[in-house]
Amino acid sequence: MSEPHPASVEARKEISGGVCVLTYQRLDTAAIIASVGDDAAGATAVFIGTTRNSFKGKSHPTWKVVTRLDYQAYSKLAIQTISDIITMAVSRSSHHHMPGSVPSLLHCAIHHRLGTVPVGEPSIVIAVSSPHRREAFVACELILEQVKAKAQIWKREFYKGERPEDAEWKANAEP
C-alpha cells in the first residue's frame, strides 16, 4: 500500500440515531449488524460492499483484473459528512410519523475501511434497523448513495499487469 495521507486516520463518531466509523481494521460485519439490533426492529437492512476481482467502467471498456483497493480519507471532514448523512436519513424517515410514535429508523451504523482492502473483503458496511422492512431498505440505499457521492473518501484500484505507481486515486463513486 502507498503511504496513507496524514489526514487519513481512524475516526469514530456516535450521534443520535447512529454511529459512523473509519478504520484500518478489517470490518466485523456480524458485530456491525448486531450493533443496530433493537427489540422494536422488525427489519434490519444491510449493505456490504466488497472489493471485487474485476472492473469494467466507462473509462475502461474491457474487463481488468483487480488485485486490491486502497482507501484514504480526509477523516475529520468525512466522519462529519457521514454523521450528517445519518442525521438526514433519520430526519427524513421521522417525517412520516406522528409525535410520540416509534420512528421509522431505529439505528444506523456506517463503517468504512481505510488502507488496503484485498479482493473479497468488505470496504463498507451499512446496517439500518427499522420497525418495517421498506423503510430499512430505502434508508440503507439512500445512505449508501449519499456516502459514495459526498464523503471525502478516495480509492485507488490496482490492476493485474499494471505497475502500482500507475494506479490513480478516484472519488469513492461508481464511474
Q: How much is the pLDDT for 169?
A: 86
- The amino acid that residue 69 corresponds to is L
Residues 6+ apart with CB under 8 A from 114: 4, 8, 10, 22, 23, 24, 71, 72, 73, 75
Q: How much is the pLDDT for 58?
A: 72
Q: For residue range 58-73, what is the model confidence (pLDDT) as tens digits?
A: 776 788 999 999 999 9
Q: How much is the pLDDT for 98?
A: 47
- C-alpha cell, 98: 406522528
CA distance 65 to 80: 34
Q: For residue range 148-172, what is the model confidence (pLDDT) as tens digits?
A: 999 999 999 999 999 988 888 887 6
Contact status, residue 72 vs residue 153, Cβ threshold 8 Å: yes
Residue linked to cell 469514530: 12
Q: Please give the CATH architecture assigned to the domain spanning 11-169.
A: Alpha-Beta Complex (3.90)
